Amino acid sequence: MRNDAIHTGSTRFDLKIWAKLLPFFRDQKRRLILIGLMLLLPAITDALMPLFIRYAVNSFIVPGQYAGLGRFSLVYLAVILFQGLSVVIYSRQSMMVEMYSGRAMKHACFMHLQKLPLAYYNVNSVGYILARVMSDTDHICGLVAWGFNSFVWNILYLLAATACMYALDVRMALIVTAVLPAVLILTIIFQPKILRARRRVRHANAMITGSFNENINGAKTAKTLVIEDRLCREFRSITDEMYTQSVKASRLGAIYVPLISCACAMTVAFILKSSGTMVMDGSLDYGVLSAFIAYAVSILDPVSEIASIFTQFLDVQVSIERVDALLHEKITIADSPEIEEAYGTVFDPKPERYPPIRGAVSFDHVWFRYPDAPDNDYVLEDICLDIPAGTTVAIVGETGAGKSTLVNLACRFFEPTKGCVRIDGVDYRTRSQNWLHSNLGYVQQSPHLFSGTIRENIRYGRLDATDQEVEAAAKLVSADTVAAKMEHGYDAPVGEGGDLLSTGEKQLVSFARAVLANPPIFILDEATSSIDTETELLIQSAISKILEGRTSFIIAHRLSTIRSADLILVVENRRILERGSHAELMAAKGRYYNLYTSMMIQEE
């Protein structure tokens, strides 16, 4: 599986990377324009607030008279209410932008994941994919909706406030703005270090989450192997790393923030010192002095905030690149535009146009290797096979011999690296994937159930099936015994992934689901390996009826269950070593004979 190692990320702002987000925010134009207005107007009014202080000092405090104070108070109150209303509108629109863009981004990721082949899931862990779809998209949309707006507001305020200061008094404005380069230098020094530390903290946090997930799922294995102490030591090393990086990030912040506060205090002190003489000789009035003190206190924070958000932009660029990489992950198994035009897509199929399928399968000099494997590392080599419709084929061999790969090729979950697979004499790449997949019934060794009820999970085999048909399919493979044990019968929930059922019970429900689909091609991938012997005997007779007249592939765990197969394939060393009926292979006394006799001895 691919490991999601720490990503150092880009150190430069790249507009091309951010342009990749435009499709997800294009529908939010009106909201973004309204947000822009709600940023511009409050930024200007915020910059004008010290002028209110100047007016109040010069008009009421210094002369000691109150004429016009009521009118001034009403104007001031109106400005405050306007700012409050602007914040409400801005917050609401930003929240909507975050939610809608996040939904669009997650939907795009989910849709693309549905189109990716099994090979992608073989090399990418569930945690890696979930991090892209959930964490990275949230990180992106949150910063765009809130961080970007804050970035814009701070720039607008900084420009407006600077203009107001120079309009009031150039000498005092030069004193205030003289400290800005120092603040900028401090920010340039500290923010990249803080950013790197935060990334390490986030990476350590991801490692902790992964460790929790792995150890919770493997709790039984850990107890049976008595490795709790070792796992605790490993977990402690991860949390120690989290602690170390968190302290480092906090230490950097603890140095940076006081330095900015110190710069602000020094600026105010310098203003008071420099302005004293000006006030005494009458070249500066008390109102202007009060306004500049207000500007000095407030103008340094936007500089720090702009730099902080900018470093967050660099951090988010990593998330954008990762989400974009997922959305542009190559779909190695795809229908051509002509086939999609004729038979529809995965999400918009045209089943009424599907040609009938009999189920004849042939392999014509098929070679296969996984896309990420070296050029000569083939899993299957030069497979030639002709399976008439209605044939029951059993596939046996050692673990890793390629049994499941052979079946996956027949199902077009993978496609041949060389050669071709034909269904009813036609290269299946010239037909729709949905055409083949909708005609498959697949029962896996480790079945997956969806959250919902037993009835709903069986009905996934054929969504238009009636309750009577669902229950009939369940009864045929003894899955009705699972419902009978539940308080709510077929309407009992199975839990997330079927966790409320045993492995054997999940397999029976999965079997009923495949039976309900009534497919021409049936796949049993060690389908009875998790079912007890008594239950297996109950469904063996049902299996023979189910498979009658269908093309079926059986990967067998117990060789005693495949003696009646029409064709038995022994897969070994990437090739089909032997083929024939049970009687023919036993008479040949080759590899199958040795496997079968040793298995019988073990069972006895």
Of 32-41, 141-150, 218-227, 503-512, the range with the lowest mean pLDDT is 218-227
Check pLDDT > 60 for residue 511: yes
Check pLDDT > 50 for residue 29: yes
Radius of gyration of the chain (CA): 35
Segment of 162-176, 217-231, 451-465, 533-547 carrying the highest mean pLDDT:
451-465
Tell me what the mean pLDDT of segment 201-214 comes to: 72
Per DSSP, the residues of 196-222 read HHHHHHHHHHHHHHHHHHHHHHTHHHH
Q: What per-residue confidence (pLDDT) applies to 441?
A: 85
pLDDT tens digits along 226-236: 778 888 888 88
Tell me what the mean pLDDT of segment 70-93 comes to: 89
pLDDT grade for 222, boundaries at 50, 70 and 90:
confident
- What is the number of other CB atoms lying within 10 angstroms of the CB of residue 492? 17
pLDDT grade for 557, boundaries at 50, 70 and 90:
low
pLDDT tens digits along 394-421: 998 887 788 889 999 999 999 999 999 9
Tell me what the mean pLDDT of segment 507-531 comes to: 82
Give dist(CA 354, CA 588) in Å, integer: 43
Higher pLDDT, 409 or 528: 409
Check pLDDT > 70 for residue 217: no
Higher pLDDT, 540 or 52: 52
Of 62-66, 104-108, 359-363, the range with the lowest mean pLDDT is 62-66
Higher pLDDT, 114 or 601: 114
Check pLDDT > 60 for residue 6: no
Tell me what the mean pLDDT of segment 87-102 comes to: 91
Give dist(CA 574, CA 431) in Å, integer: 27
Nearest residue to 61 via CA among 277, 290, 284, 396: 290
Mean residue pLDDT across the chain: 84
Nearest residue to 559 via CA among 533, 586, 595: 595
Higher pLDDT, 38 or 561: 38
- What is the number of other CB atoms lying within 10 angstroms of the CB of residue 311? 21
Q: What per-residue confidence (pLDDT) applies to 196?
A: 76
**CA 425 from chain center: how many Å?**
40
pLDDT tens digits along 471-503: 999 988 888 888 998 888 999 999 888 888 887
Give dist(CA 494, CA 503) in Å, integer: 12
Higher pLDDT, 553 or 201: 553
Check pLDDT > 70 for residue 7: no
Tell me what the mean pLDDT of segment 421-431 comes to: 93
Check pLDDT > 90 for residue 330: no
Q: What per-residue confidence (pLDDT) applies to 458?
A: 92
pLDDT tens digits along 132-170: 888 889 989 988 888 888 888 889 998 998 898 888 888
Give dist(CA 117, CA 207) in Å, integer: 27
Distant-in-sequence contacts of 252-261, Cβ < 8 A, 24+ apart: 252/190, 252/193, 252/194, 252/197, 253/194, 255/190, 256/186, 256/187, 256/190, 256/191, 256/194, 259/186, 259/190, 260/183, 260/186, 260/300, 260/301, 260/304
Check pLDDT > 80 for residue 592: yes
pLDDT tens digits along 235-286: 888 888 888 888 887 887 788 778 777 876 777 777 777 776 777 777 778 8
**Which bin fits 417, alpha (ψ -120 to 50), beta or left (φ > 0)?**
alpha
Of 27-41, 52-66, 198-212, 436-450, the range with the lowest mean pLDDT is 198-212
Tell me what the mean pLDDT of segment 559-576 comes to: 85
Indicate the pairing of strand 426-427 with strand 418-423. antiparallel
The dihedral sign for the CA sequence 20, 26, 29, 32 = negative
Q: What per-residue confidence (pLDDT) applies to 426?
A: 93
Higher pLDDT, 312 or 10: 312
Q: What per-residue confidence (pLDDT) applies to 578?
A: 92
Backbone angles phi, psi at 336, to 5 degrees: -70, 160
Q: What per-residue confidence (pLDDT) applies to 1?
A: 47
